[in-house]
Every structure is written in structure tokens, then in C-alpha cells.
Amino acid sequence: MKALPQLNLFLLSAAALCSCTGKQAGEASRPNILYIMCDDHSYQTISAYGSAVSRLAPTPNIDRLAGEGMLFDRAFVENSLSAPSRACLMTGLYSHQNGQEQLCEGIDTTKTFFTELLQQAGYETGIVGKWHLMCEPKGFDYYHVLNDQGQYYNPAFKSKDTQGEYVQEQGYATSLITRHAIEFLDGRDKSKPFCLMVHHKAPHRNWMPEQQYLDLYEDVEFPIPETFWDDYATRGVAASQQKMSVARDMEMVQDLKVEELADTLTPEGRFTYACLMGELSRLTPEERAAWDAHYKPRNKQLLEANLSGKELAVWKYQNYMKDYLRCIKSVDDSVGELLAYLEKEGLLDNTLIVYTSDQGFWMGEHGWFDKRFMYEESFRTPLLMRYPKAIEAGSRCSALVQNIDFAPTLLSVAGVSVPDEMEGRSLLPLFGSGRDSVEWRTSLYYHYYDYPTFHLVRRHDGVRTDRYKLVHFYGKGGEAGATPNMLKPGTRENRTFNTLKASNYFPASSPDIDYNELYDLQEDPHELNNLYGKPGYEAITAELQQLLDDYRTRLKVQEY
């Protein structure tokens, strides 16, 4: 077992109270955990992080966590994709260690999920919302989870009471998830501490706002990111051959809800159109009427304007931002509701509240939406924590932290020893005012595997230090790059692969690749200037290459 980190007196005594198995004395004082995670919530759209966009669409309830707790401005994921990120969260392991390298298949269910250890230590555990791992929720006394990506409107949930079936409920996903979270809190065994994970579907694609917010931000013009018109000039083919360009790849029908263009769709557009129609068919007639009252006049105006080129790209960006931020507004309400509940029940100050996302997301930077790349906006994720017994209000932490750190952190907050096999580290030593003198990691390892699939981001791994980033892009291009899972009939990866193939998703030619990129994040925070191979960077390149090699060796990384 790893040694407990240095903590303040309260945490030490909490740890001493519980030697980790069975119900212990002093339960009532052991901290509760409320872990809130959104799906694809960018730090750029949380006003506590201060971006110009977020100031136009503030998130007061999420910001309260920063004001009364700690904001981490260098929190990252290991593999910027939903299920892999969730597997890192549950196991404290890197993707190749927990098995979940790609979106659908993989999780190694023999690995310990941290909630199992919390249960053994006498915690009551619950999860509500998006689970997205291809195994039953493991280590939970209560679950109320969505099917796969879930739906925004009138979604179906599975719980211990539904006999393995997903049962449709009436309402909007974010509100229903909040309601079920409160049901768990109301119904829990109050003699035990709890760990509740609230995993929102929002603001995942295709960004369907709640009825009351359909018109929100209608007249707001969001600033266009500096890198929106990026031409990827200094970078390799991965940056230019992706399919996540707002201008080129964001779908007018499914993503931007211009149903009037349905008969102009390409094969891949028709595929996503089917997804939209599935979503829209769930709306009640009243919901559909409100939906149409918002989108139809807007669409009429757009079609009359007959936009093209840059003007159309800007229209897409603005309307993407509006729908995304409307979804965030509901999430912010949810955080407010949960905080109010904890306050009313007298639980607020004895609960560690975490707010984060399963990864970052592009809000038009580099011209993109989605995530996956090791470039900052996707690699970085928001992270806020409130726990007044150990975290000073309004504090900020710039240590390099990663989603493999969640399991160790939540275990150590609960006073449970962290298993040696977990790769992540508890963030507890960073909570206190002495965090700058804590010996902490000075680099992070990243690895993305999910190619060729949605958005066609090439496989890559890399390291990031305080100042530099080295990324290695590799692998066969196009269909030849398919992983064994993608070629194995009956798997979900295979179904996705075949669907994309049938909709002409894969370009006729995609080269096999094996190249590096190097960025100086201090001089070039937007990562526009790839320095790899440039004179003067030999020493730093060699240093980072050694670091990357060391990670690969120590972690036994096998590339395809």
C-alpha cells in the first residue's frame, strides 16, 4: 500500500479512524464525496477559467466551487475519449493497463474499481447518468444509468429496479440525472458516508438544449478563437486530415439542426441525420412545437441568406456555441441544485465536491469541434474541488494532474489506502497551502488509439512537461489501420467501422505515418508552431524523447 500523503490534521484523523475494511466507528465524520463529471465540457466554457466566451455565458454555480475551493489549471486526461477516460477514472490506470483503449470495447473487469474499495470501507456508493463502460456498473450500491451515450430528451435509464432493461422516462437528461442524484441522497443509509458520481450526458454532441433555454444567447455574438482559421502549416497530416472541422465536417442537419437541408445530405450526413431523427422522435408534441418555434425561423433566415465559405463557417461556429452553451446552462443549474441540497441537509462542508469533464473539447480552436488530440484544448480538462476542511477557498493549483489521479484521490480522502498497482497519485498533498513545495510529477504521458473511426484522428502518444510537448503520430492509414477489434465481427467497434465504411467516411488515401511534433507551450500556447527538427531544439528534443521512451518502457506500452 502507498504511504498516506501529508495532510492536515483533519484528514489524518479521518484516515486513522478507518483502517479500510468494514463499517467503522466515526462514520458520520468521514467525508462524503460528490463527483460531478460532464461529457465533453471544455474549461473554456466555465467562467471561473476566465475565457472571453465564458464571460458571455457565465456558470455561476460551477464558479462557486472555484470561489470556495480549488481550481486546477493544469488538469489533463490520458486518452481524450469518453469510455477510456472513465476507465482511467475507475481504475487509476492508463488505458493500455485497464484495457479500454478505444471507445467501445476493452475494459478489463478484473481490475479493481475504486468504488469497490470504498464499499468495502463502509461507504454507500451511487452513480447516476452516463456510465459508458461495456460492463455493468461495478462497485455501486445504487445506479441509475443511461444506455451508452444516452439521449437528451425523455431518455431511458437502467437501475437495479428495472431488471436489466432501459426504461424511458419523461424529462430532459440533465434534470432527470439531478433528480435521481437527489433520490440517491434522500434514500441513502444515513449512518454511512457516501460517494455519489453524477455523470451528465450534456454537453455531448449533438448539443440539444433544454426547452427553457432554446432561445438563450440568441442575440449574443461569441468571439471567434484566434486559431479558428488555422491552416496547420507547420504540422503533420494528422492535423489536416482529421474530420472535426466546424467549417467542413460539422453537419448542417444533425449538429446544426437545419432539418430543411435533409435532402441535400451526403452518405455520411445521412448517417448522422438518422441519429438526429432518432433523437427528435423522442420529443413530445409540445416539446417538438417549442423546438420548431425556435429553429424553424432561424433556419428560414439562414436559407434566405444563402451563405457560403467563411460566412457559413462563422454561422456554424456561432450556432454551435449557442447550443453547446445552452446545454451548459442546464448543467450549471444542476450543480446549483446539488449544492443547495447539500447545504439544506447540512452536508456541504463534510463533502468533497469534484467538478470535471471526461475530457476537454474544441470550441472552434484550430477550426475544430470534438477532442481526441493531445493538443491542449482536448488534452486538458476542467477540474474544480471544494472541501473546506482541507482546501482553502479561492485557491489555484498548477501542478500537472491527470484523470488517473482521481481514484487515488477519492480513496485517500475517504481514508482508504491506495493499492500499489494504481498508477495515479492522490492529489491530497496539493490541497494544502504548502503545495508548491510538494514533490510532484514533472511530466504527463498521453496515448490516443481510436483510429480509424469518427473524426479520423490518427494514433499518437506523447509527453508534456511544464513547458514542452512532444507528440509521436504513428500507424497505418485508412482502413489498413483498423485495430483487431474493428475487424472482429460482432464487436461494437466492428459495427462502427462498417457503418463508417459504408458511408464513405474513410478518404481514398491516408498515408502510413511515423512522425513527431514538438511545441514550446510558453512561447506558443496555441501550438501553431511545430519545432520538431528545427535547429536549436536538438537538446530539448532529446530530453523529451528520453522521457517518452522511459514512460513507454516503464509502463510497458505496446504500440500497434
Residues that bind ligand SGN (CB under 6 A): 39-40, 81-82, 103, 149, 204-206, 272, 275, 370, 454-455
Shortest Å, Cβ 13 to ligand SGN: 40
- Residue from 366, 274, 369, 359 nearest 321 by CA: 369
Contact of residue 491 among ligand SGN, Ca ion, none (CB under 5-8 Å per partner type)? none
CB closer to Ca ion, 375 vs 431: 375
Binding of Ca ion by 450 (CB under 5 A)? no
Long-range contacts of 10-13 (CB under 8 A, 24+ apart): 10/389, 10/390, 11/389, 11/390, 11/412, 11/413, 11/415, 11/428
**List of residues 6+ apart from 217 with CB closer than 8 A:** 56, 57, 321, 322, 325, 326
**List of residues 6+ apart from 361 with CB closer than 8 A:** 40, 41, 42, 203, 369, 370, 371, 377, 378
Contact characters 408-447, Ca ion, x per CB under 5 A: ----------------------------------------
Contact 443, 547 (CB under 8 A): yes
Shortest Å, Cβ 37 to Ca ion: 9
Which residue's Cβ lies closest to ligand SGN? 82
Shortest Å, Cβ 494 to ligand SGN: 15
Binding of Ca ion by 78 (CB under 5 A)? no
* Grid coordinates of 155: 431518455
Shortest Å, Cβ 40 to Ca ion: 4
Binding of Ca ion by 174 (CB under 5 A)? no
Contact of residue 455 among Ca ion, ligand SGN, none (CB under 5-8 Å per partner type)? ligand SGN
Binding of Ca ion by 516 (CB under 5 A)? no
Residue 19: other Cβ atoms inside 10 A: 12
Binding of Ca ion by 39 (CB under 5 A)? yes
Candidates 15, 35, 38, 40; binder of Ca ion (CB under 5 A) is 40
The 3-class secondary structure across 380-406, one letter per residue, is ECCEEEECCCCCCCCEEECCCEEHHHH
Binding of Ca ion by 82 (CB under 5 A)? yes
Helix (H) / strand (E) containing 355: strand 351-357
CB closer to ligand SGN, 325 vs 427: 325
CB closer to ligand SGN, 141 vs 370: 370
Shortest Å, Cβ 34 to Ca ion: 20
CB closer to ligand SGN, 150 vs 408: 150
3-class secondary-structure state, position 317:
helix
In 241-350, beta strands by DSSP E: none
Total residues in contact with Ca ion, by rule CB under 5 A: 4
Shortest Å, Cβ 272 to ligand SGN: 5
- Distance set, CA 245 to CA 124, 317, 532 (Å): 44, 10, 24
Shortest Å, Cβ 421 to ligand SGN: 26
Size of the chain, expressed as the number of residues it contains:
560
**Exposed e or buried b for every residue in 192-210, given b needs 16+ CB within 10 A?**
bbbbbbbbbbbbbbbbbbb
CB closer to ligand SGN, 387 vs 454: 454
Binding residues for Ca ion (CB under 5 A): 39-40, 82, 358
